Structure 1
Amino acid sequence: MPEQNKPFVITDRRKFTADGTPRPDADPTPERERPVAVVPEPAPEPVAAAPEPPPAPEPQAAEDPNDPGMPPPPTPEQMEQSRLAYQSTAERIDIAIRSANPGMDHPPAMSFDQIVQSVYMQAILQLGGGAQQGEQPQVDLLGARQSIDMLGILAEKCAGNLSAQEDLLLNSAIFELRLAFLEITQALARSAQARAGAPGAPAGGPPPRPSIVR
């Protein structure tokens, strides 16, 4: 059976007439307010804070052996273990060297005299004492000065703890090296003046080698 056509009804939902007066048949339902779009205000730009001045460096105190920042000293047990391990390794090296060189003598043990003589010969070489006859000596004044000062510190720290022979050896080495140092520096100064053509200066030439007292 065909569906009957339903009438098309138009409902006037206006609340006011054309002249602006309220209509008596207006729908009492309040009209929904349209949402108003709220435009967010731009956030204020952050103001950069003034950089704080770096803290003033604290005055450094003198080094204190009890300072907690310093590493702890080795214990007597650790010192003894390191000594034994060192001696064992050194002996194995000596055995290997003598095995590769039959008939080689055992190297002498280090002594105070050998320490002084080693630094002494190093200073002599730094003052040009190792140059061959007729060669220009190669002088290292700064190195020689350090070697001489090293013996001076050794004499200062060992004062009262040396035998008469050790004290004589050390003081003699320091005395000879200081004289050789003065002789070489004066010879270099005269040679520089001669090359510069200074009046009254002697003819230039290689500085004399220091005498080595044996």
Structure 2
Amino acid sequence: MSEQEKGFTVKDRRRFDSSGDTRGEAEPQQKKAPEPEPQPAPQASAEPAAPQDEAPADQGPMAGGRHQLPPVDFSGLIISLAQATMMHLGQIPGPDGQPIPPQFDLARHTIDTIAMLQKKTEGNLDPEEKKLIDEVVKELRMAFVHLAG
């Protein structure tokens, strides 16, 4: 059989010859990754999309590799700041379950931030939001006085 009758050709692309010396040939060309086939656009469903805060029961907080976050609203902001304050007061353990030492200056700053929001939003809140911020400021100030002495 002659070489042209064969179905394929073998080329030695190794950078070194059998003695370990570098070959004088140019760098071997890298094979390009195959282009992904274009996927058709997803069809619109007849069902309306589920609201962001209502995840299906079979999906946990990390469904699909993404966190299911609560909606962005004023109450969520106040609760987040209150949790940060309780962490600064040493009342929430760290991620490893160990207690976090109190940092009273950070706690006072966060309480003052919530109180500033309370003053700046006066007259613009729903009754539930007003009740929440009033109670949070009151409870955090009492906790600060109790723990900081």
Taking structure 2 as the reference length, what is the TM-score of the superposition?
0.51
Q: How does 1:160-175 map to 2 (within 5 A)?
A: 160-175=123-138
Q: Using the alignment, how far apart are the partners of 1:144 and 1:105 within structure 2?
A: 28
- 2:85–2:110 Cα contact (<8 Å) kept: yes
Other-structure match for 1:179: 142
Using the TM superposition, give the Cα deviation of residue 185 of structure 1 relative to its aligned residue in structure 2, in angstroms. 1.3
Distance in 1, matches of 2:146 and 2:82, equals 16
Question: How far apart are the structure 2 equivalents of 1:178 and 1:166?
Answer: 18
Q: Is the 8 A contact 2:86 2:107 kept in 1?
A: yes
Query: In the aligned structure 1, how far is the partner of 2:103 from the partner of 2:68?
Result: 34
Instruction: Look up the match of 2:81.
Output: 119
**TM superposition shift of 1:130:** 1.7
Give the 3-state SS of the residue equivalent to 1:154 in structure 2.
helix
CA contact (8 A) 1:131 1:138 kept: no
Question: Whose radius of gyration is greater, 1 or 2?
Answer: 1
1:147: Cα distance to partner? 0.3
Instruction: Find the counterpart in structure 2 of residue 129 from structure 1.
Output: 91
Whole-Å Cα distance in 1 between the matches of residues 80 and 140 of structure 2?
13
Query: What whole-Å deviation, never above 9, does each CA across 1:125-167 have from its counterpart, x for those lacking one?
Result: 00001238xx665010100000000000000000000010000
Letter in 2 for 1:140: Q
> How far off is 1:104 after superposition?
5.0
Amino acid at match of 1:158: T
Separation in 2, partners of 1:184, 1:160: 32
Question: Number of residues paired by the alignment?
Answer: 86
Per-residue Cα deviation, 1:191-214 (whole angstroms, up to 9, x for no partner): xxxxxxxxxxxxxxxxxxxxxxxx
1:159 paired to 2:122:
yes
Structure 2, unpaired ranges of 5+? 1-61
Unaligned runs of at least 5 residues, structure 1: 1-99, 187-214
Percent identical pairs in the alignment equals 26
Of 96, 111, 117, 1:148 maps to: 111
- Taking the aligned partners of 1:106 and 1:128, their CA distance within structure 2 comes to 27
CA distance in 2, matches of 1:148, 1:177: 7
Contact 2:87 2:100 (8 Å CA) reproduced: no
